[in-house]
Amino acid sequence: MSRLLGLLLATALTAPASAMSLADHPPLRELVDRLVQKDGFDRASVERLLAAASYQQSIVDAISRPAEKMPWHRYRPIFLTQQRIDGGVEFWQQHAELLARAERDYGVPAAVITAIIGVETRYGAITGRYKALDALATLAVAGLSRSGFFAGELRELLLLGRDEHLDPLTLTSSYAGALGLPQFIPSSYRAYAIDFDQDGRRDLLSSPADAIGSVANYLHRHGWQPGQAISARATVTPAGAALANGDLLPRHTLETLRQGGVSVLGDDFEVQPNGPASATPLNAALIRFDGDAGDEYHLGFRNFYAITRYNHSALYALAVTQLAAAIDAQHGATP
């Protein structure tokens, strides 16, 4: 523990004014106390583990400029590429039986599961280059608005290591501490990962089967509605544009939206690839995006909202939706 604290104190003395001292953060000493007193860890072992962590300014820099801050017309081309579509079709073909079983068990279409793994890690090709311990220890003391959250995820990482017999020192992650093919943060790994290949382990690091089942389980647990639409393009009047207030929760009925000046383009919903939109009345959120030609509006239904629980970004959810549709179309056209 002393080496990490000394490093962080030294960093605080030389860091810019925006960096906060350890006294202004949820102290790592309190984290150790909680792990020992409430979680049953050995104090010396935890202190040795945290002493191996390093503060990485590059991690703070990376989380301060996430892709989700881009406008839609710049964000979309990152993920809607022919290479990523081709990779999705190949992934689907390689894991067709697993994806079919996940769709059957959880109601989440194969194309949506595939698209999420494609957006997150290019189907497992890029799962993170940082040490997970470094990432979460750094963010826990970096003076960010979510430092307390990341301190909690650092605790979850150590609990995950104990639960799944993983060595936290060897785990690599994204800059935010997300792990494996589907990029689950440690708390999500512990809560939503499943042993889909039934080998006695929940392995999101190297098992496509467990990744596929866990993505489906995650969306199911966050309210996925089988057979219902995900999103729809819309046009709005100037008055209707006020309904796009940044709220992603689908609170408005379609009739309310229409009365407010919102029209669905041709009633052509961007639906789940496995069938038409449900006849059940749908609620939606109106969401504005910065498109190539100006403001672009989409309705986000309950399934769109479920995708935003994976990553709390409308950009992310729309990229997943459109990549899923493109993968599904090409997969269906492949002999």
The residues annotated with a catalytic role in the active site are 120
DSSP annotation string for 3-22: HHHHHHHHHHHHS-TTS--G
Which residue type is seen at 328? D
- Please state, in angstroms and rounded to a whole number, the distance separating the CA atoms of residues 46 and 36: 8
DSSP annotation string for 77-138: HHHS-HHHHHHHHHHHHHTHHHHHHHHHHH---HHHHHHHHHHHHTTTT---SEEHHHHHHH
Which residues lie below 8 Å from residue 135, measured CB to CB, with a gap of 6+?
Answer: 56, 59, 173, 174, 175, 176, 177
The bridge status of strand 283-291 relative to strand 270-271 is unpaired
